[in-house]
Chains A and B, each alone.
Chain A
């Protein structure tokens, strides 16, 4: 019943997207674990981790597209929710180190010993238990989004003003997390992780498992987002995006809709951050930097705003380009490439990669229709 409802809501693009994700879940572990490293089709473990990172960015982009693409909330601070989810995971991973740290303290992480702290701050309690950490991965970004959104949307802060205060939010968190006495490792952040749920985070099997989990989470987030945007709720979101005050006069409480979608989106971003941290092995305050959040907006714009699949695609494409450009002799030109890409997309393909693909398809169909209508009268005259 439920699966039928889900399938009914998928379009062709969504079906393709899920098929690709399923393919990744099956093929990548096979090509990594079963083929010998010398085999030409072998996927090295570092590539698996890199792809896992891209997938986490794709989840972040998806969450951003849900609020920006469908509800017109241009959040320039979504990286904050991503980073908070990441910190929640990082705190769990720190507590798992135990006596294997440099100072071998059974409870305190190394940086606390270094700062001469005698006991664990209260907000670190419970993070030794995975279920608690998992709950925090959802609750902390969700709670911040709730408080922030409640204040902002109730006061009807919209447009560029909202974007600016989201920037301020992530910047304030950046400054706060830089401070040593905040108790989150300051400048260095959290790192030197050992294991997750008893498995070594560096091990090949763990990395492949994390990759598979990330892709599965992306698929799940896509399905949730798709269910939201195709429901009547999603139609109200689009109505708000296009004509906010009209929606109000129709009797909808715009602030409630915005708040709900903003909180859901922040939680998705938090999960993305939580999956990201064990795969890259570190979380530090730079994840809060305003530039990160802006980059995420560029991914969505490049892929195609308001398409979900486009957002995820854009994140992978831009980050693949980034990995290519920032290594080797092209390294100095990455920012130029990114800026150029943004200009190109804005001018030449306002609906992003997905928009380009569908307009090519539409043109092809129109051409086919034209040739059909041209050939028909010829047959009739015969």
Chain B
């Protein structure tokens, strides 16, 4: 059943992130096909789906890296149209992103990585003379304590292990203090113990932020214990609790196998 105009209006004003009928093609390949997704304020959502389902492309659209061919991408109760803004402006609105491949600034120290991420003005003038040059050791330490990296604060980020880099990126997200965190495969390449700790950390963060997590690791998704959306061929295949989604015959067919 098509939603009525009133219902749609309601969804827009209530959603922190509102994607409706979004499509994008690359050279004729429909990476995102009529995708609709609503994230409520304070919600944590897990996104699963096979390779090529459009998970990363969706993140690219939300953060302004890719422009959709059609559809609405609205943020903060429909106040901002993300399709008209660039990456920096979207980041400024309060959308932070952790990439699939950990990308930290390798020739900066761990502390400086957090320093660059800390919330606040990002114009060149402030960077030259403003608050980012003052002692921010306390703010940095608070972030590093939370992601358990205080002991390597002065190490070059390039020297960190893979799991530590993932955590540093999550720490940089925390430092940005965004309204919405987009976290792409946070536990890829982590040991089981690290995966569990990351789930705990993300649940903590979700207490006062909205979070969208893209992940393949079903154990991890189960540990998060949140609403799950399964994407397939650029559209939503199933949505609901982890048990509902993993019992869905279509999801089993295209993604979970067995």
- Listed in ascending order, the chain A residues whose CB lies under 8 Å from chain B are 228, 231-233, 235-236, 238-239, 242-243, 245-254, 256-257, 260
Contacts and interface: CB of A to CB of B under 8 A. Distances in A.
B160 to A, nearest CB: 15
B63 A249 contact: yes
- Determine which residue in A235, A249, A260 has the highest number of CB atoms from chain B within 10 A of its CB, and name it: A249
Contact of B116 (A236, A245, A256): A236
Contact of B108 (A228, A238, A249): A238
- Determine which residue in A228, A232, A238 has the highest number of CB atoms from chain B within 10 A of its CB, and name it: A232
A260 B124 contact: yes
A251 B176 contact: yes
Given A238-B108, A252-B122, A253-B88, A243 B103 contact: yes
B105 A248 contact: no
Interface of A is mostly: helix
B128 A248 contact: no
B9 interface: no
A254 B127 CA distance: 12
A256 B176 contact: no
Contact of B87 (A231, A239, A243, A249): A249
Given A235-B115, A257-B124, A251 B91 contact: yes
A233 B130 CA distance: 10
Contacts of B115: 232, 235
Contacts of A238: 105, 107-108
Given A233-B124, A233-B127, A250 B91 contact: yes
Given A235-B108, A251-B176, A253-B88, A246 B127 contact: no
A363 B130 CA distance: 38
A246 B103 CA distance: 7
16 contacts: A228-B128, A231-B127, A231-B129, A232-B115, A232-B116, A232-B126, A235-B116, A235-B127, A242-B105, A245-B65, A248-B91, A249-B99, A251-B88, A251-B91, A251-B92, A252-B88
Interface size class of B (residues with CB under 8 A): 20 to 34
B97 interface: yes
A311 B134 CA distance: 29
Interface in B110-133: 112, 115-117, 122-124, 126-130, 132-133
Nearest to A251: B91
Contacts of A239: 105, 108, 116
Given A250-B117, A251-B122, A232 B105 contact: no
Nearest to B158: A242
Contacts of B97: 249
Given A248-B87, A249-B97, A250-B176, A231 B133 contact: yes
A341 to B, nearest CB: 26
A251 B118 CA distance: 10
A236 B132 CA distance: 11
A360 B221 CA distance: 50
Contacts of B123: 253, 256
B243 interface: no
Contact of A232 (B65, B86, B133): B133
B106 interface: yes
A253 B122 contact: yes
A256 to B, nearest CB: 5
B170 interface: no
Closest 5 CB pairs of A and B: A251-B91, A232-B132, A233-B127, A248-B87, A233-B128
